[in-house]
Amino acid sequence: MEKERETLQAWKERVGHELDRVMAFWLEHSHDPEHGGFFTCLGRDGRVYDDLKYVWLQGRQVWMYCRLYRKLERFHRPELLDAAKAGGEFLLRSARVAPPAKKCAFVLTRDGRPVKVQRTIFSECFYTMAMNELWRVTGEARYQSEAVEMMDQIVRWVREDPSGLGRPQLPGAVALESMAVPMMLLSLVEQLSEEDEELAGRYARLGDWCAQRILQHVQRDGQAVLENVSENGEELSGCLGRHQNPGHALEAGWFLLRHSTRRGDPKLRAHVIDKFLLLPFRSGWDPDHGGLFYFQDADGLCPTQLEWAMKLWWPHSEAMIAFLMGYSESGDPALLRLFYQVAEYTFHQFRDPEHGEWFGYLNREGKVALTIKGGPFKGCFHVPRCLAMCEEMLSALLSRLA
């Protein structure tokens, strides 16, 4: 019991300290004082190697700053609030390609001109997350209007009419659902519903729908989580249908754990632990070198993505959250052991003790393959979110033990 307490305490300090280091990296290197928003293309030592601004990452960083500002006292500092507001204003000014239409760009120039549009909902989703957090920290209603209006547009695209996204309808293209979409939407429901009875009520059914859609990705009689299923919730053929993303399954797992807690549904929780935590970990963890494969094929065939066997930072941050949350919710010590296993690997392989933050991309054997600390897809989000959540969960576990 004392040993257990010591280990939990050690990890609480470790993640807390790492959170400080990681945030220091972004605070030091990423702010654009001229235009607002953030440089995410940062090299090993934090130097900016490209000034393009990726909209998912802008929204995510605003969200992260606001969240830390209001939830952790040591981050309740003006520099985070100011940068978050400047980032929010940058998004308000520039994210939408053709305002008042809601479609946002995928990537913008440093000064906010659209470079590329992706025909998915994710820029808009992270925009929404950012706006809602800005409202929570500033109290300014205009941010919340932005958040709710964008949410409504996203819901229309997903549930009513995706034609506004501009995707062509081709005769050979199968109507599919990628797990990322209900995951993202569930994430938004949770964000907007936090301490907001009205919105929680408004989005309750949507949240249930999202959870049901995610659960449909458990296929083959409960033996595999598949990233893509048909609109009717059935397995698809080909590489597309067999495609697996263990990190995504684990992330979906903790989204669903939160949902099952909100719904007070222990049966769902047990199912989620089984199918979204243990199952993907068993098939996704590399027995030879450790770490989670980025992609897999449900039939054990070779995936066609060149990067399939690489070990990426975010599946590991999500696995840490998932296992610690699973343990917190269920009390099953096996899950705590898995948390330690993943956390040890992750800290050992991804952390950069010299320059701070984490490498994002390792090769199969766990060696650093790209020295960048941020890029088009890696920003100030997964790592701090994981560390902050783990710090909170470890604190709670320690309180329980005391």
Minimum Å gap between C-beta 56 and a second copy is: 15
State the Rg of the chain over Cα.
20
Q: Are residues 236 and 229 in contact, defined by beta-carbon separation less than 8 angstroms?
A: yes
Residues 360-389, mask of contacts with a second copy (x by CB under 8 A): -x-xx----xxxx--xx-------------
C-alpha pair distances (Å), 107 with each of 123, 146, 149, 157, 224: 9, 20, 21, 20, 34
Minimum Å gap between C-beta 338 and a second copy is: 26
Residue 155 as a binder of a second copy (CB under 8 A): the answer is no
The residue type at 401? L
Minimum Å gap between C-beta 237 and a second copy is: 8
Q: Which stretch binds a second copy (CB under 8 A): 81-89, 163-171, 332-340, 391-399?
A: 163-171
Render the burial of 207-219: b for 16+ CB within 10 Å, e for the rest: bebbbebbbbbbb
Q: Which stretch binds a second copy (CB under 8 A): 38-46, 141-149, 245-253, 385-393?
A: 38-46
Q: E-strand spans in 23-85?
A: 53-54
Of 167, 301, 159, 171, the residue nearest 241 (C-alpha): 301
Q: Are residues 308 and 293 in contact, defined by beta-carbon separation less than 8 angstroms?
A: yes
| C-alpha–C-alpha distance, residues 61 and 57, integer Å | 6
Closer by beta carbon to a second copy, 11 or else 56:
56
| C-alpha–C-alpha distance, residues 215 and 53, integer Å | 34
The residue type at 180? A
Residues 278-317, mask of contacts with a second copy (x by CB under 8 A): -----------------------xxxx-xxxxx-------
- Selected from 44, 202, 258, 263, the binder of a second copy by CB under 8 A is 44
- By rule CB under 8 A, what count of residues binds a second copy? 42
- Selected from 141, 170, 175, 402, the binder of a second copy by CB under 8 A is 170
Q: Are residues 276 and 224 in contact, defined by beta-carbon separation less than 8 angstroms?
A: no
Closer by beta carbon to a second copy, 83 or else 107:
107
Minimum Å gap between C-beta 236 and a second copy is: 11
Contacts with a second copy in 174-233 (CB under 8 A)? none
Of 249, 136, 250, the residue nearest 193 (C-alpha): 136
> Under the rule (CB under 8 A), what is the footprint of a second copy?
41, 43-44, 49-52, 97, 105, 108-109, 112-117, 168, 170-173, 238-239, 301-304, 306-310, 361, 363-364, 369-372, 375-376
